Amino acid sequence: MTFKMFQILARKKIDVLYLFPGGIGIARNVANFMKQAKAPLDDLIPEWRKLRRARLAAGERLTEEEIAARDQPFVLEFMSRMQTLGFQFSDRGEPYFTNEKNVKMYHLLFFSQHPIGLSLWRKVTRIEASGQRRLPI
């Protein structure tokens, strides 16, 4: 997927729900991407090579905290890029999607060009898959 697709979508008054492949796509592959002159991530977040996490993948050692949050800089950079397209209202869904070994895989990201979109999103995410509503705290 490329950022060009989001640029095209931003021309319409729509909301975007995006399953961002942080753990499975980026964190797992960033070291290999660093070795490539043209990596798949270049089309989604062109500035990714400047992020500290990418530089660490090139050979620097990571602390345990950095390992646990290794895709966060990419998520935040992507969210920032979406703001430049007019998606001023955004949120990250909880929980972070994990696999059966509790390894973090994806972020569910929401983007809207209107505050009502964000309001609706937050109301929907208070309802769990079982139908149970979360307390608004």
26 falls within a domain = yes
How many domains does the chain contain in total?
Answer: 1
106 falls within a domain = yes
135 falls within a domain = no
82 falls within a domain = yes
Q: Tens digit of pLDDT per residue, the chain (137 long)?
A: 789 999 999 999 999 999 888 877 887 788 888 889 999 889 988 888 888 777 777 676 666 666 556 667 888 889 999 999 999 999 987 656 777 877 777 888 999 999 999 999 888 888 776 777 766 65
Give the type of residue at 89: F
pTM of the model: 0.75
pLDDT at 15: 95
Q: Which residues contact 121 (CB under 8 A, 6 or more apart)?
A: 15, 91, 110, 112
pLDDT at 124: 84
Structural element, H or E, at residue 64: helix 64-68
Structural element, H or E, at residue 82: helix 72-84
C-alpha closest to that of 26 among 63, 61, 60, 56: 56
46 falls within a domain = yes
Reading the block at residue 66, the tokens are: 């950095």
Scan for tokens 């001023």, then name that residue. Answer: 88
137 falls within a domain = no
65 falls within a domain = yes
Domain that holds residue 29: 15-124
104 falls within a domain = yes
